[in-house]
Structure 1
Amino acid sequence: MAKAVTEIRSLARSHTRTALNVLVAVMRNTKATPPARVAAANAILDRGWGKPTQSLGNDENALELIHRIERVIVQPDHVDAENPDRESL
């Protein structure tokens, strides 16, 4: 199975230049729909620069999320202190 995945990946990568040229052509085509042009531009940027990181909100919300995930994973039987009739997440 791993050999098949490697072969498919290799085949797909062999078409990288053509695929990128198609994306550039769509992005530059003034007759293409705006969503198609934006999608092509985003695909080009993602491949060239990587996808932008997404914020979880402010630091307090991120920390709260981490603590809630930890309670679910580490202490799955923990009861939510704010709502004792309901289990956390």
Structure 2
Amino acid sequence: MSDGLEDEPGVGDVYRPVARKASKARTLTEIRSIARSHTRTAIRVLVGVMRSDDATPAVRVSAANAILDRGWGKATQPLENGEDDVLELIHRIERIIVHPGSSGDGDASA
């Protein structure tokens, strides 16, 4: 098939344009757009699963969480001051960025 007509549709054929190199950003944007066009249906399915008496409790909770996450965002996770002193590190970084002229040797009042 080297007659040069590969890109022209024939009877019963689907037209396929010459492959173009699309940027990843454009492709991701297109995928997001397509996915977002199904938002109402997806939410309806999640609500149906959440309300279904036939679904297991775990599946119903999962659907409910998905609905809440989309409507209200994911719940924030509190920071814990564990063994690695993550909270102290965050406070130290804040002192350096917000109060760069202060002495940063552990003085929490700066």
C-alpha deviation, 1:56, in angstroms: 1.7
Report the counterpart of residue 48 of structure 1 in structure 2.
71
Which of 59, 65, 89 matches 2:86?
65
For structure 2, the residue ranges without an aligned partner over 5 or more in a row are: 1-23, 93-110
Which whole-Å CA distance do the structure 1 matches of 2:38 and 2:55 have between them? 23
For structure 1, the residue ranges without an aligned partner over 5 or more in a row are: 71-89
CA RMSD, 1 decimal: 2.1
Which whole-Å CA distance do the structure 2 matches of 1:4 and 1:67 have between them? 42
Aligned amino acid, residue 74 of structure 2: K
Structure 1 runs of 4+ with >2 Å offset: 66-70
Which whole-Å CA distance do the structure 2 matches of 1:19 and 1:41 have between them? 12
Aligned amino acid, residue 33 of structure 1: T
Report the counterpart of residue 35 of structure 1 in structure 2.
58
C-alpha deviation, 1:66, in angstroms: 3.9
Question: Where is the helix percentage greater, Structure 1 or Structure 2?
Answer: 1
TM-score normalised by length of structure 2: 0.55
Q: Give the number of equivalent residue pairs.
A: 67
Higher relative CO (CA 8 A, sep ≥ 6), structure 1 or 2? 1
Q: Deviations over 1:22-58 (max 9, x none)?
A: 000000001101110000000000111111111123x
Other structure's SS at 1:43 match: helix
Larger-gyration structure (1/2) = 2
TM-score normalised by length of structure 1: 0.67
